Structure 1
Amino acid sequence: MRPILLGILAAFFFSITFILNHSMELSGGSWIWSASLRYFFMVPFLMMIVISRRNLTVLLKEMKRNLKGWILWSTIGFGLFYAPICFAAVYSPGWLIASSWQITILSGSLLAPLFFISVRTPNGLQKKRGQIPFKGLGMSLLIIFGILLMQMELATKIAVSTVLIGILPVIIASFSYPLGNRKMMEICDGKLDVYQRVLGMTLASLPFWLILSIYGFYTVGLPSQSQISQSLIVAISSGVIATVLFFQATDLVRGNMQKLGAVEATQSMEVLFTVIGEIFFLSSALPTIISWIGMLIIMVGMILHSYLSQKEKVLKQDKETVNL
């Protein structure tokens, strides 16, 4: 149960992002500062972790070898992921963004052909272009149905154009996050641990955040003290604590695909934690029955998707072992 509990705890800290982004929007804070301040604040904390592990020099050397690649894919993986998520908070409550964000499961699957995977054959390891896992797409479509159910209900209360402005940035973010991170994993090629890679991507994305901050300074002015404090909490809770807890949970079950699937499925709890947090801390109205049904469908879809995908990996590994 320890990995499961760590996964649930990670989902709790991840959900703080959606709650506080909505809180900062309600208090008049700009999405520009909600996005950029998080990454500025993440740098010193991640730097302390990497330095304490004596891995900073190795990271800087690796970044120097392919600085353009680091900047490009870090900007996509972090910049075009989190800026749209914060922008969406202007038009949608946190629980709706947290629910819609689960579409990243489908986005990640559709990106598979852009990457090469190592396949074990009798002649050794060979590179093979990834394929879209059509079996798992059934569960992805279930998640999309839950998202559409909630979005359609929202469209009955506000203009459809407003709904689209709220959902389209989340869709962009759902593709940018896995694309940037997977490309960076290819560049790193196992030479760096997760702390080094996250710090490196944060540093490489700083030019994007600096440009966004300059734009924010001349359009909306400086952030308030309240927004600075809340952004610091987001950086610590989501950028550091949640990430460490989640990777610790996955490390405990590495090699066991079924248990790994169970740990990954715990992230569906982000939706529930975000709803509860907004109700208690922001006095948000309770979601309607239709929205609850949509959230339940999304959570069930995530759990089933995770279990089926890991089961498929186990069967594939067994098949490869037999062939060998």
Structure 2
Amino acid sequence: MSAKRITIGRTFSQTPVQTEESQESPTQTFVLSTGKRAVFRLERIEAKELAEKTFVVLETNGRDQAGLTPDSLRDIIRTIKLQQFFPAIGVKRDGRIEILDGSRRRAAALYCKTGLDILVSETAITTDEARRLAQDIQTAREHNLREVGLRLLSLKNGGLSQKEIAENQGLSQAKVTRALQAASVPAELISLFPNHSELTYPDYKALLMAADKLTETGQAVDRLIETISMDVDSVCAREGLAEDEVKNHILRLVRNGSQTLIETPAKDKTVSENLWTFGDKDRFARKKTRGRMFSYEFNRQSKELQEELDRVIAETLRQYLGEQ
């Protein structure tokens, strides 16, 4: 008879999580990708301790915490004060709980200032085991393309090629490329959108193109945000707009704003270089450069030095520009 196949992922114990009060907290057993079993015990973390006692690692959980805005959490915020349908899942690390699954529930609980039920294990779980377990038990909304890309970016930074990442994660190379592009969009631009999950690959591509064009022309993304932030606030405050309409309005502001900045070259900054250091702060000898223009400035220097500088400059001009 062949050996019974070990199930990877979630396995339920005989005691369900939702039980009547008893002396012992309900437990649940998960089988990790390595075949090791880990027991998780239900804990209630009160609102005032939630931020301090729990944390999320993007590379493991896969959820971009910056994207967990009230708009994106609306479905959970509506119910979590009354009831939490599923506990979050975490593992103890150095006295705190790393949330493997349930970071949206955690963010909603923080926003609503309510406690959170978490199934917690004190078993020594490696980073890779935790990452794979988190993938197996994800019960919340599917991760958006940027969140996938941010997780893949950590693998790329670890030395894996895009082909190796695709094989390791069971994704197509095209999906890996798109996800990494989405992850490359500056976070400042992403923060303009109240609900990041509305963004699609063409949207990320347009944002990345705008950011790249700004960089090529010496413009800062921060300057674009300063230029359009008031208009973005006005769009977000308008009543009756669907989430995709809000997104499209903001995308239009980004495209038009970046195009305006690109067509208006940034002014060259003046760079000052000390030619000599003096003990007296009122004395200086320096060169100033702005674009193709430069000048030399001296203060509180002797008449002899000024005459010598005049002589050297005149001689140098004759040498390079010829006699007048």
Structure having greater relative contact order (Cα 8 Å, sep ≥ 6)? 1
Structure 1 or 2: larger helix share?
1
TM-score over 0.5 for the pair: no
**Rg larger in structure:** 2
TM-score range, shorter chain: under 0.3
> Taking structure 1 as the reference length, what is the TM-score of the superposition?
0.23
